[in-house]
């Protein structure tokens, strides 16, 4: 009996190891329309919406964007998705390609790995990631290009070309947390720029040290050569970022500690560099003691959030909606959440500077939602940050 029990234990261990290996290195699976894929309808603030699974078996997906082809006749726009613990993929329905020839110095440990991705002008892709090694690492930004004929080929891989290093944090640490990494494409001083949110890497006092990039949001010029510029500081760990091109406003969501998650309007054009307070002020509490963080919830000379959550939903991605699919939502914000497994509809005034209401829109908990983006078809897309993560679409029913 003992031998039999040992044999069973060994077999179970082999199955578990096989499962870990398979799920850690699996190729994304196109699941739209399959019987196993989640698909349901619900009411959401005046709309009947369809929530539909598109892909599964992603290894902690983190960022999502679309390759908008220079061919004006293109019907489909390939999706690019990053896996924090895996690879970077180009997805066009069943056609799934791994993007190769990316930097090898990615640190896939803790909260680090391949992070966010956006497409900029001239079909250039921008990708943030944790760079270095476990004992010494930074958040970094690169750009690369894809060749159109490679996108439409029948191969299972596609090479990143003209890979360029654009930015890395100015101080390395051995921490595995608070990398930040969310990106937004926008405009700074009349020029196109990438905005990058940077966490304080678990060294909270660095967020008030302007000799360090930790706990800041930086603007990186992408067409003209130039040094990056800190546009705000005093951040704990920015997790969502979106530049509203119609209002010319930059928004960010940020993790608080125990409570105090924030939605911030980044006053990047103010006469003085805006300070968002961490760790001097916060609406959150210390994890260990439950005591108030810092000196209180506000202080003269430090910015107040547009909105804060007393109980942390673990805010993540952020987008501002403009589109024909949901015209009544035009100009409103949508923020995703990891812990609450939710998407919040943030009703905002016409100027974009005052929150009128915040309501969750999902009726089901279907996973830790890492990012939400509006697609080229004006529908909303979101991804779940899990070992077998998924990509979903929200459309009109």
Provide DSSP, 61-114: EEEEEE---S-TT-----EEEEETTS-EEEEETTEEEEEES--S-B--STT-SE
Q: How far apart are CA 102 and CA 87, in angstroms?
A: 10
User: Each residue of 54-112: pLDDT tens digit?
Assistant: 999 999 999 999 999 876 566 689 999 999 999 999 999 999 999 999 999 999 999 99
C-alpha R_g of the chain: 21
* Residue 301 in this model has a pLDDT that exceeds 60: yes
State the Cα–Cα distance between residues 81 and 92, nearest whole angstrom: 11
Instruction: Please give the Cα distance from 342 to 375 (Å, whole number).
Output: 19
- Give the Cβ contact number of residue 349 at 10 Å: 10
Report all structural domains of the chain as residue ranges with CATH numbers, in order of start: 39-396 (2.120.10.30)
Q: Which residues pair with 164 in a beta bridge?
A: 143
**What is the average pLDDT value for the chain, to the nearest integer?**
93
Please give the Cα distance from 369 to 344 (Å, whole number): 11
Q: What pLDDT is recorded for position 3?
A: 54
Task: Mention every residue, 6+ apart, whose C-beta is less than 8 A from residue 87.
Answer: 59, 98, 99, 114
pLDDT at 221: 94
CA distance linking residue 109 with residue 104, whole number of Å: 14
Cα–Cα distance, 180 to 278 (Å, whole number):
14
Nearest C-alpha neighbor of 224 from the set 269, 247, 193:
193
What is the CA angle 126-132-137, rounded to 5?
95
DSSP track, 249-305:
EEEEEE--SBS-EEEEEE-TTSSS--B--TTTB-S-B-TTT-PBSTTBS--TTSPPP
Q: Whole-model pTM?
A: 0.93
- The pLDDT assigned to 21 comes to 41
């Amino acid at each position: 009996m003992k031998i039999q029990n040992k044999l069973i234990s060994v077999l179970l261990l082999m199955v578990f190891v096989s499962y870990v290996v398979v799920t850690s290195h699996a190729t994304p699976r196109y699941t739209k329309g399959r019987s196993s894929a989640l698909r349901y309808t619900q009411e959401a603030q005046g709309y009947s919406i369809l929530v539909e699974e598109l892909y599964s078996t992603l290894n902690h997906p983190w960022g999502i964007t679309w390759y908008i082809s220079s061919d004006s006749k293109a019907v489909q726009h390939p999706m690019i998705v990053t896996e924090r613990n895996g690879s970077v993929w180009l997805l066009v329905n069943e056609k799934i390609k791994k993007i190769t020839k990316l930097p090898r110095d990615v640190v896939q440990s803790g909260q680090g790995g391949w992070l966010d991705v956006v497409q900029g002008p001239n079909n250039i892709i921008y990708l943030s990631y944790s760079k270095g090694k476990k004992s010494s690492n930074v958040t970094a930004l690169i750009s690369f290009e894809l060749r159109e004929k490679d996108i439409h080929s029948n191969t299972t891989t596609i090479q990143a070309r003209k890979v360029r290093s654009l930015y890395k944090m100015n101080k390395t640490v051995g921490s595995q947390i608070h990398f930040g990494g969310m990106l937004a494409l926008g405009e700074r001083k009349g020029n196109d720029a990438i905005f990058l949110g940077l966490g304080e890497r678990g060294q909270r006092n660095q967020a008030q040290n302007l000799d360090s990039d930790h706990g800041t949001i930086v603007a990186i010029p992408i067409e003209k050569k130039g040094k990056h510029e800190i546009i705000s500081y005093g951040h704990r760990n920015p997790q969502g970022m979106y530049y509203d091109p119609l209002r010319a406003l930059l928004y960010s969501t940020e993790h608080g500690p125990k409570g105090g998650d924030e939605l911030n309007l980044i006053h990047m054009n103010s006469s003085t560099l805006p300070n968002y307070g961490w760790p001097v002020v916060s609406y959150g509490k210390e994890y260990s003691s439950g005591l108030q963080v810092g000196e209180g919830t506000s202080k003269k000379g430090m910015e107040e959030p547009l909105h804060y959550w007393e109980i942390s939903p673990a805010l993540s991605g952020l987008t501002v909606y403009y589109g024909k699919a949901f015209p009544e939502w035009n100009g409103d914000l949508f923020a995703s959440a990891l812990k609450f497994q939710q998407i919040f509809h943030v009703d905002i005034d016409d100027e974009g500077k005052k929150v009128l209401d915040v309501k969750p829109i999902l009726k089901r908990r279907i996973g830790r939602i890492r990012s939400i983006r509006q697609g080229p078809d004006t529908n909303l897309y979101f991804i779940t940050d899990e070992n077998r993560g998924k990509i979903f679409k929200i459309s009109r029913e």
